[in-house]
Chains A and B, each alone.
Chain A
């Protein structure tokens, strides 16, 4: 199933919370949804599900959600860890959610077991921790084995083991050919979990590209070369027009160049190379750089979603060449 959002717009009191947002979610991929607080992530998810009214549309394999007999088999959403009645047991909460598509009690118990809530299944969730609430919400989203999972901050409140489990599970779920769309503030987790990123700021799209492409946009991506004669290499770099910064101890940081190019340049200049490696920014560094400038950033690839950033180097694997 392919999910396409087209021109989503949501306005509150004249201020645009979501500004003409369009992106596509592909099957078999975990797509991270990033943006600063108040950037419109939750609003976007609600617009996609038809919970909020706004402009634009979201199609699920080309069809509106209302064209499917059972929406829960198309999309499972987990929007908040506290969306349950504190006096309805966890099991009954899931039985209620499953009633729409005739989910059996056996399936309810399977999902409870999957998210690790078996011991508290018959307890009322008013005493649940945030992490347990997240598990219950996730169970509700998974109940009908939907083709698309929309999860809003599902890792909040989870302990490290649960986060690891969540990461592995979502990657596994996507590998079955499903769409997984996850918003999160835990960027280190997102870096290991997501294959693709949709990044918004002030409601507008600033990136819709692979994780590697997004990270490659960071100005902190460079190549470090440590040589016996840095002055000679600096002169050669200036001749070629590369921006280089001396880092001491014979080290030079060079932007906009690959390790292959820099190795060849050093060889051509007759300089002995002691170390050569690409330094890739973390997702967090890239995210902070890009979102701090807000809407001034255009979409990568000359304004086309999913495109390559002009002038950026190819994603590096961080290894010396």
Chain B
């Protein structure tokens, strides 16, 4: 297993794409973080007859949630998800999967090594991105409001990290199912950002409210039946720590396990 991990580590770090994707996730997150603070400041400045409303408004928002909405949103996760998709997508596209499986004729080890290394790289990349985004947002927020910004809520970000890893694991699995890198990223991203909100709206009623950036709902809203089984909606409930946090986390985990399980079975059964 160690040799399989070493192989995968060498594979992922001998192409520039990995570094470019990590850099893109970081730059996009920083940019979104900066734009978020500037936008909130601009909204506050436009309010008339109030003294520095932006300060109160920003203070009223959890900085941690803003940071997660920035680094854990669809756009940064598309870049991190592409790293996940490359684990198998690139290998099938270029035929190198045959070299890999000739070198390591144990499909279980190849699958596990790819999953572990991918999760490690994504975790480290996301944590660094989140810390730097937090620092930038704190600095900008302090310069705008003149006050101290709030601290990070680590438990929230810990759940956020698990969600990010789960999302990337789903991308990893979908790529293995389709053997097409682009589909591996697009299907989960579109499902999360477009299909789930539409499904909830059309099948379960309104989703209006103070949902997250992904269209997830707050605890005050009733849960339509469809919402109880959707992966990313439940994943966001888990991250946000709503009263459905536990069930949301379990549903999300079940989806991750299901996608990984099916992808593993097909990887083991199909020809390389």
- Chain A interface (Cβ < 8 Å from any Cβ of B): 46, 49-53, 65-66, 70-72, 75, 77, 79-80, 82-89, 92-93, 95-97, 99-102, 140
In the complex the two chains form, is B104's CB within 8 Å of A87's CB? no
A83-B96, A97-B103 given as contacts; is B6 within 8 A of A52 (CB)?
A: no
Q: Given A49-B102, A71-B105, answer yes or no on A86-B271 (Cβ-Cβ < 8 Å).
A: no
Can you add 14 more A-B contacts, CB < 8 Å, to A71-B103, A96-B7? A50-B101, A52-B271, A65-B105, A66-B105, A71-B102, A71-B104, A77-B98, A77-B102, A79-B102, A82-B94, A85-B90, A88-B14, A95-B10, A100-B4
B→A interface (CB under 8 Å): 3-4, 6-7, 9-11, 14-17, 90, 94-96, 98-99, 101-106, 269-272
A100 and B3 alpha carbons, distance in the complex (Å): 5
Q: Are B105 and A83 neighbours in the complex by a CB distance under 8 Å?
A: no
User: Nearest chain A CB to B94's CB is how many angstroms away?
Assistant: 5
Which residues of the partner chain B approach A82 to less than 8 Å between Cβ atoms?
A: 94-95
Q: Is the CB of A86 within 8 A of B94?
A: yes
Is A101 in contact with B16, judged by CB distance below 8 angstroms? no
Which residues of chain B are near A102, meaning CB under 8 Å?
3, 6
User: A51 contacts which chain B residues (CB < 8 A)?
Assistant: 98, 101-102, 271-272
With contacts A88-B14, A95-B10 taken as known, whether A49 is within 8 angstroms of B94 at the C-beta atoms is no
Docked-complex contact A99 and B96, CB < 8 angstroms:
no
- State whether A92 touches B99 (Cβ < 8 A): no
The distance from the CB of A156 to the nearest CB of chain B, in whole angstroms, is 15
Tell me how far the C-beta of A133 lies from the nearest C-beta in chain B, rounded to whole angstroms. 11
Q: Are A72 and B98 in contact (CB under 8 A)?
A: no
Q: How many A-B residue pairs have CB under 8 A?
A: 86
Q: Which residues of A contact B17 (CB under 8 A)?
A: 87
A125 shortest CB reach to chain B, Å: 10
Q: Are A85 and B98 in contact (CB under 8 A)?
A: no
Expressed in whole angstroms, the minimum distance between the Cβ of A77 and any Cβ of chain B is 5
Complex: chain A residue closest to B16, CB-CB? A87
- Closest chain B CB from A68 CB (angstroms): 9
Nearest chain A CB to B39 CB, angstrom units = 37
Smallest Cβ distance from B55 to chain A, in angstroms? Answer: 48
Contact among B90, B96, B103, B271 with A72 in the assembled complex (CB-CB below 8 Å): B103
Inter-chain CA distance A80–B102, complex, in Å, is 13
With A65-B105, A66-B105, A87-B15 known as contacts, the answer to whether A97 contacts B272 (CB < 8 A) is no
Interchain nearest-CB distance for B181 vs A (Å):
12
> Which residues in A have their C-beta under 8 angstroms from that of B16?
87
On chain B, the residues within 8 Å of A49 by CB distance are 98, 101-102, 105
Q: Show 26 residue pairs from A and B whose CB-CB distance is below 8 angstroms, ordered by the A residue.
A: A46-B271, A49-B101, A51-B98, A51-B102, A52-B271, A53-B270, A66-B105, A71-B103, A72-B103, A77-B99, A79-B99, A80-B95, A83-B99, A84-B96, A85-B15, A85-B96, A86-B94, A93-B14, A95-B10, A96-B11, A96-B14, A99-B3, A99-B11, A100-B4, A100-B6, A100-B104
Q: Which of A83, A95, A101, A140 contacts B14 (CB 8 A)?
A: A95
Known: A99-B9, A100-B4. A53 touches B271 (CB 8 A): yes
CB neighbours (8 Å) of B96 from chain A are 83-85
**A71-B103, A100-B104 are known contacts. Are A83 and B10 too (CB-CB below 8 A)?**
no
Most chain A CB within a 10 A radius of its CB, from B10, B102, B271: B102
Q: Which residues of B contact A79 (CB under 8 A)?
A: 98-99, 102
- Report the Cα distance A101→B96, complex, angstroms: 17
Give min CB distance, B201 to chain A, whole Å: 42
Residue numbers in A under 8 Å from B7 (CB-CB): 96, 99-100
Q: What residues of A have a CB within 8 angstroms of the CB of B90 in the complex?
A: 85
Q: Give the Cβ gap from B19 to chain A, nearest Cβ, in Å.
A: 12
**Please, how many angstroms separate the alpha-carbon atoms of A79 and B99 in the complex?**
8
Complex: A140 Cα to B6 Cα, angstroms? 17
Closest chain B residue, CB of each to CB of A143: B103
